[in-house]
């Protein structure tokens, strides 16, 4: 008999903000070292992020889910996803109804299927909210783009953003049919 899956996916609450912020800062530092300037990575601040996540999670229409699991012997947030209505107003990016704003899984917990389960929870919520398509932005230089390509994301285009006055190229992946993505993901998260 296989061991029970120790990761639980559930809707995020305002009280999860600190756990979400810790995962975001730790994962930026492992995943984006060499992609984002060291100075920007060093400046990331868990307390400031916690305040922002408190506001975001409480926002009407925001769809946030966490993955709870073992964090060094005690239970805690090991991953999260956040999404909602597409914020992009420029064509061709504005053609997508929903957006995956952010997804992070701690390095220690990656490649175990948690990211896929988080996407499934968000896609279910976006479909329930009436969105039929979805967009996501990520760094062009990031190897984690493969995660979106594996989920059938279509490369929509690129743009330049600035972090601490340093320019970065980000690429958008899109899913034109969220129902089809949901079928591809299989399983049941909600």
Ligand X SMILES: CC(C)(COP(=O)(O)OP(=O)(O)OC[C@H]1O[C@@H](n2cnc3c(N)ncnc32)[C@H](O)[C@@H]1OP(=O)(O)O)[C@@H](O)C(=O)NCCC(=O)NCCS
- What is the contact surface with ligand X in residues (CB under 6 A)? 27, 31, 102-105, 110-116, 138, 142-144, 146-147, 150
Q: Identify which of residues 130 and 190 has a Cβ nearer to ligand X in the complex.
A: 190
CB-based closest residue to ligand X: 115
- Closer CB to ligand X, 4 or 130, in the complex: 4
Smallest distance from ligand X to CB 176, Å: 20
Distance of closest approach, residue 120 Cβ to ligand X, in angstroms: 10
What is the C-alpha separation between 107 and 171, in angstroms, rounded?
22
Minimum separation from the CB atom of position 54 to ligand X (A): 20
Going by C-alpha positions, the residue among 161, 154, 121 that lies closest to residue 135 is 154
Q: Tell the burial category of 25 from Cβ atoms under 10 Å away from its Cβ (0-12, 13-18, 19+).
A: middle
Q: Distance between the two ends of the chain, CA-based, in angstroms?
A: 25
Transcribe 67-114 into DSSP letters.
EEEEETTEEEEEEEEEEEE----STTGGG-SEEEEEEEE-GGGTTSSH
Q: How far is the CB of 90 from ligand X (least distance, A)?
A: 19
């Amino acid at each position: 008999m296989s061991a029970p899956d120790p990761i639980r996916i559930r809707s995020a609450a305002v009280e999860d903000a600190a756990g979400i912020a810790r995962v975001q800062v730790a994962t930026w530092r492992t995943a984006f070292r060499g992609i984002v300037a060291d100075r920007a990575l060093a400046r990331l601040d868990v307390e400031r992020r916690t305040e922002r996540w408190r506001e975001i999670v409480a926002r009407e229409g925001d769809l946030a889910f966490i993955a709870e699991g073992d964090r060094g012997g005690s239970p805690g947030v090991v991953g999260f996803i956040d999404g909602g209505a597409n914020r992009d107003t420029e064509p061709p990016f504005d053609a997508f109804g929903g957006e995956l704003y952010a997804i992070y899984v701690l390095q220690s917990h990656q490649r175990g299927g948690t990211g896929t389960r988080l996407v499934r929870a968000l896609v279910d919520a976006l479909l329930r909210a009436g969105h039929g398509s979805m967009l996501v932005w990520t760094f062009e230089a990031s190897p984690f783009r493969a995660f979106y390509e594996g989920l059938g994301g279509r490369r929509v285009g690129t743009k330049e953003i600035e972090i601490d006055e340093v320019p970065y190229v980000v690429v958008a992946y899109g899913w034109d049919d969220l129902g089809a993505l949901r079928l591809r993901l299989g399983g049941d998260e909600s």
